Structure 1
Amino acid sequence: MTHAHSHLGPGEDLDHGRRGLAIALAVVVGLLGVVLAVAVWILWPAADEVAKAPNPYGTQGVSIVSATVTDVRAVDCGGGAVGPDGLPAVQGDCGELLLRTADGESATVTVQPAVFRTGVEVGDAVDLVRVQPEGTDEATYEFLDFDRGMPLVWLALACALVIVLVARWRGLLAIAGVIGTIGAIVVFVLPALLAGENPLVVAVVGSSAIMLVVLYLVHGISIRTTAALFGTLSGVAITAVLGWLTTGWTHLTGISSEDDQILMAVAGQISLSGVVTASMVIAGLGVLNDVTVTQASAVWELRAAQPGASRRSTFVSAMRIGRDHIASSVYTLVFAYAGTAMTVLLLITAYDRSLLEIAGTEQVGAEIARTLVGLIGLVLAVPITTAIAAALAPGPSEEPPARHADAVTAGPEPQAV
């Protein structure tokens, strides 16, 4: 008996033969792309509009050099339990490091107990601040930080290799999407914010443009991907509105550390409270994209498995999957925050202050608000995406076309295993 087989999996060929809908959606997405391109062009800052600050390590006679630790000694630095500012100070010995710079010079620096206690060993690569005022023959050195450049490069390469080996071409496209996303943030979003453009508008335009490109790049051009795109943009809009309302309601100023005050001094035109709102939109974009793509795919797979099911039945079935995804995404975001803010959480626990009092501070309150706003936008995006996907997927009256054969062989019918 002659039989055929196909590389297409369940749900992957349901868009064949729906040319009219595909063209209509292509027109809508094309118009959206034009609008976003114009918005990016309007918001794109000129080079002289972007706030700049002098590099503190780029002045005359000051530079950063790489060095290798050749010897480590413990020395008494006479530190007490309380620092000169009245805050608790780390007690213990300081570390005296003997180093050889990349230029072959010898250097000796002293590191504070907090750094020395983490462990400094012979052979460690570090960065030093080299100071040699004009007219002097000798240079002085100060410890800046450990040199983590190469370890991070190797870690990134290992991560990319694992992704490509497991996900293959889809993983390679995902890496390309990540690179493009980082590039868009560095080239457009950050300069636009430093130029004083409206942070919320920049975040919405930048996030929407990134998703428009990345979704089709990684997941391919299809009606299913378009459904995920519409769901993602709905989530971005909801998060933007909620973020704007929450920032004003909770009086988040964006000033929680010395770095924030320096940024305000360097770029006085920036609205730091607006930056907080913008961060709410961008922070949850990855998880939001995850749930919308999953829901769109779930709808398509359910339609392939149950061609006669009604749109309502498909929506209900896909929402069962969505509820599980919502549950896992909720604690995913909470764990992500707990991991990144572990030092702050430990300090909060050590202080003799109530949890509610600490939660109301600018530093912690902004993170709580960012997480909650992102969660609301994510949760609401699930039914919206599912409804859009159920509406765009083939209905029960649309007979899916036969699968396209890529090979035909003669022989007996294979037995089921």
Structure 2
Amino acid sequence: MIVKNVPGAVAAHTRGILPPMGDHSGHGHGHGHSHDPAAFAGVRTSSLPRNAVLGLLVLVAVATVIGLVTLWPDGKRPHAEYAATGVSYPVATVVSAHDPCPVIDPNADPSGTPEMPKGCDGLTVKLADGTRVDVQAEPGAVRSGLRKGDRVTLAKVPGAEGGAVYSYFGTQRKAPVGLLLAAFVLVVVAVARKRGALALVGLGVAATVVGGWMVPSLLEGHSPVGVALTASAAIMFAVLYAAHGISMRTSTALAGTLVGLGITALLGQLASGWARLSGLGAEASDPLRTFAGDLDFRGLLVAAIIVAGLGVLNDVTITQSSAVWELRAASETMSRRELYTSAMRIGRDHIASAIYTIVFVYAGTALTTLLFVALYDRTLLDLLLTEQFAEECVMTLSSSIGLVLAMPATTVIAALTVSAPRSHGRRRAAW
């Protein structure tokens, strides 16, 4: 790919002007042409664009710190009781799982509906003190394959005269989820090594910002868009520099990411208004309206749009910045226009794959909903334009547009930031 797009580098190697890939000897500029990211450190940058990018990032960093302090949650958010007074949630061990109840056809003749077998969808469990109780479980619990020895959580409601009523609350999944998490961490560190470990640190910082700052701040009624932009900027500063190191290459990717975030926020704000969305399409909106009715639900939708595109946006911008740095490392004779054109060829392939990723991830998570939609005698378009599905469409399309536009923006910033082209020791025109 690089050899094809950098004819100047090939010609220079043929004439013996440039050393072999990775050879630093005999050249004052002292940078190699290895494809290892460490070689990027030798790529020169132009002072004016570099200072402009760093100045922009400093301003955004200061604004982010001000936003974090100004919008800091003070603990006065609304609360809802999770359970009635006296209700507890003991863990029990499954002794046996009963047969699942048959599925009743809603269109069948009611007179011919079979009687439900006694105890179907039930569990016999043993409490910590050895007491055995029978509880009715939800249909999915028994059909999931619960068997003897599995652990479940019960809801214990105090009864009269010291007795208690038990009901199924949920299945304990700490072991399988914990093992998957451990496997994920081991694989990331084994394959990506130091970079992978630093990426995990960045992911931990992101989780802390979202759970420890963004969510409480939103519940306290602060501006959803302001909170989302502040949290997203803080996350991107942490994640990009932790995973990819502190360098101008990472800084240009961060600048492109911030441009994409701004575009996404603007589009989300406009699109939610054009589509007359209320932000109340999600299932969790009803309890939120009950316990925190003063929230700006349309603003929360825009905040969700901003956060939804962070992962793929980060992926695209760092790839584009690295592409430009790699091209300049391979050839000092390419003009900035050639750098931009070559990097955009890479970026177009990446964008095509990223769009597929976004669509298929959503299709996978919404597969059950799509099957439910297919049961009705209405067109798919009619159902997609209802409040619930329209919110998802606007979210996906707005974040995707921001993603696509961030790619050329990052490429331009990177192409301007790297050094001007050279030819036999003389500078060529930049464009």
Q: TM-score range by the shorter chain?
A: 0.7 to 0.9
Structure-2 residue corresponding to 1:348: 373
The correspondence for 1:157, drawn from 159, 177, 182, is: 182
Amino acid in structure 1 at the alignment position of 2:131? E
Question: How far did 1:363 drift?
Answer: 1.6
The correspondence for 2:65, drawn from 33, 37, 44, is: 37
1:62 and 2:59 correspond: no
Contact in 2 for aligned 1:307/1:399 (Cα 8 Å)? no
The C-alpha deviation readout for 1:135-185, integer Å capped at 9, x for no partner, is 632221111111112211111110110010000000001111111101100
CA distance in 2, matches of 1:279, 1:91: 46
Stretch moving more, 36-45 or 287-296: 36-45
Contact in 2 for aligned 1:81/1:91 (Cα 8 Å)? no
The C-alpha deviation readout for 1:50-78, integer Å capped at 9, x for no partner, is 1211122xx3320112111111223879x
Contact in 2 for aligned 1:14/1:394 (Cα 8 Å)? no
CA distance in 2, matches of 1:15, 1:90: 76
The correspondence for 1:307, drawn from 332, 350, 368, is: 332
What do you get for the CA RMSD once the two structures are aligned? Answer: 2.8
Question: How far did 1:395 drift?
Answer: 1.4
CA distance in 1, matches of 2:403, 2:420: 27
Structure-2 residue corresponding to 1:407: none
Contact in 2 for aligned 1:231/1:388 (Cα 8 Å)? yes
CA distance in 2, matches of 1:75, 1:159: 34
Pair 1:4–1:224, CA change in 2 (3 A)? closer
CA distance in 1, matches of 2:348, 2:75: 46
Stretch moving more, 116-125 or 338-347: 116-125
Scaled by the length of structure 1, the TM-score of the pair is 0.86
CA distance in 2, matches of 1:76, 1:22: 67
CA distance in 1, matches of 2:164, 2:65: 51
CA distance in 2, matches of 1:16, 1:249: 46
1:105 and 2:131 correspond: yes
CA distance in 1, matches of 2:89, 2:150: 16
Stretch moving more, 14-23 or 249-258: 14-23
Contact in 2 for aligned 1:90/1:114 (Cα 8 Å)? no
Give the SS at the match of 2:162.
coil
The correspondence for 1:384, drawn from 409, 418, 427, is: 409
Contact in 1 for aligned 2:279/2:300 (Cα 8 Å)? yes
Contact in 2 for aligned 1:74/1:95 (Cα 8 Å)? yes
1:328 and 2:356 correspond: no
Question: How far did 1:255 drift?
Answer: 1.8
The percentage of aligned residue pairs carrying the same residue is 41
Contact in 1 for aligned 2:320/2:411 (Cα 8 Å)? yes
Amino acid in structure 1 at the alignment position of 2:150? D
Amino acid in structure 2 at the alignment position of 1:127? T
Structure-2 residue corresponding to 1:410: none
Contact in 2 for aligned 1:73/1:95 (Cα 8 Å)? yes
Give the alignment of 1:77-92 within 5 angstroms. Answer: 81-82=105-106
Question: How far did 1:378 drift?
Answer: 0.6
Amino acid in structure 2 at the alignment position of 1:47? G
CA distance in 1, matches of 2:114, 2:300: 34
Contact in 2 for aligned 1:92/1:113 (Cα 8 Å)? no
Stretch moving more, 375-384 or 67-76: 67-76
Contact in 2 for aligned 1:64/1:130 (Cα 8 Å)? yes
Give the alignment of 1:215-226 within 5 angstroms. Answer: 215-226=240-251
Give the alignment of 1:112-123 within 5 angstroms. Answer: 112-123=138-149
Structure-2 residue corresponding to 1:286: 311
The correspondence for 1:125, drawn from 122, 133, 151, is: 151
Question: How far did 1:397 drift?
Answer: 3.4
The correspondence for 1:297, drawn from 303, 322, 326, is: 322
The C-alpha deviation readout for 1:217-245, integer Å capped at 9, x for no partner, is 11111111110011000000000000001
The correspondence for 1:337, drawn from 340, 362, 376, is: 362
Amino acid in structure 2 at the alignment position of 1:40? L
Pair 1:207–1:103, CA change in 2 (3 A)? farther
Q: How many residues align?
A: 389
Pair 1:398–1:149, CA change in 2 (3 A)? farther
Structure-2 residue corresponding to 1:375: 400
Amino acid in structure 1 at the alignment position of 2:41? D
